[in-house]
Amino acid sequence: MKTKILHKINIEYTQGDITKQPDIEAIVNAANAYLKPGGGVAGAIHCAAGIELEKECAKYAPIKVGQAVITKAYNLPNKYVIHCLGPRYKIDKPEEKLLADCYINSLKIAEENKIFSVAFPSISTGAFGYPIEEATNVVIETIKILAPKLKFVKKIRFVLFSRYDFEVYNRIISEKL
Ligand code: ADP
């Protein structure tokens, strides 16, 4: 786990599994429009949370690209799941803005719910094909703009599944934050 402080916000990044962050209040799901289990992050989150999560999700589906909705976390060790639909690379345009919207809208919901800590996976860089370097640049630029405006969120953790993705975050955060 690595940490940087940005406007009194703890920015952490680690290699790991988004479903195994028990010290975090809200985890973010790289969801699909229908808020169904599917593969990748969404599959892992629904598997760990249980069928009750799918039932609650059905009330809010479908969601639009860049939109975020919040649910309870059920059997996960967290309090909430914030579900966000990332853009499909080269399909949903403008993809940079839509990816930034995911992080903006997820943190907006976190603020509205007075959430202290949020963990993000790398949205759109799996099945949706967004290159990790490009996505990470968008994420870090967006966080730099948002950090001074946050009142309740004091910890943001990026959970990277692969060693390679972690190394990309390490390089870009070292350069930009
Ligand atoms: P998207 O459809 O938004 O691209 P994916 O779930 O396919 O979302 O993948 C997003 C990223 O999350 C990929 O880098 C993938 O390797 C990673 N990932 C997959 N499973 C997990 C997990 N359990 N925890 C954290 N990251 C994960």
Q: Which residue's entry shows tokens 């800590």? A: 117
Count CB neighbours of 162 within 10 A: 12
The pTM of the full predicted model, rounded to 2 decimals, is 0.98
**Per-residue pLDDT for the chain (177 aa), expressed as one digit of tens each?**
999 999 999 999 999 999 999 999 999 999 999 999 999 999 999 999 999 999 999 999 999 999 999 999 999 999 999 999 999 999 999 999 999 999 999 999 999 999 999 999 999 999 999 999 999 999 999 999 999 999 999 999 999 999 999 999 999 999 999
Task: Give the distance (Å) from ligand 1 centre to CA of residue 111.
Answer: 24
Residue 75 has a pLDDT of 98
Partners of 31 in beta bridges? 85
Identify whether the C-beta of residue 66 lies closer than 8 Å to the C-beta of residue 98. Answer: yes
Task: Give the distance (Å) from ligand 1 centre to CA of residue 105.
Answer: 19
Tell me the two tokens of residue 61. 């589906």
Residue 94: phi and psi, rounded to 5, are -75, 125
Is the CB of residue 37 below 6 angstroms from any atom belonging to ligand 1? no
Residue-range domains of the chain with CATH = 2-176 (3.40.220.10)
Is the CB of residue 159 below 6 angstroms from any atom belonging to ligand 1? yes
Q: Which residue's entry shows tokens 């760990």? A: 48
Is the CB of residue 38 below 6 angstroms from any atom belonging to ligand 1? no
Q: Whose CA is nearest to atom 21 of ligand 1?
A: 41
Nearest alpha-carbon partner for 35 in 77, 64, 9, 5: 64
Identify whether the C-beta of residue 8 lies closer than 8 Å to the C-beta of residue 151. Answer: no
Residue 34 has a pLDDT of 97
DSSP 131: -
Give the helix ranges, DSSP H, for the chain: 40-49, 51-58, 95-112, 132-146, 163-176
Antiparallel, parallel or unpaired: β 9-15 and 2-6:
antiparallel
Is the CB of residue 80 below 6 angstroms from any atom belonging to ligand 1? no
Q: How far apart are CA 125 and CA 110, in angstroms?
A: 22
DSSP 91: T
Task: Give the distance (Å) from ligand 1 centre to CA of residue 41.
Answer: 4
Q: Which residue's entry shows tokens 């969120």? A: 153
Q: Whose CA is nearest to atom 19 of ligand 1?
A: 40
Q: Measured from the CA of 122, which atom of ligand 1 is nearest?
A: 11
Q: Which residue's entry shows tokens 């934050």? A: 177
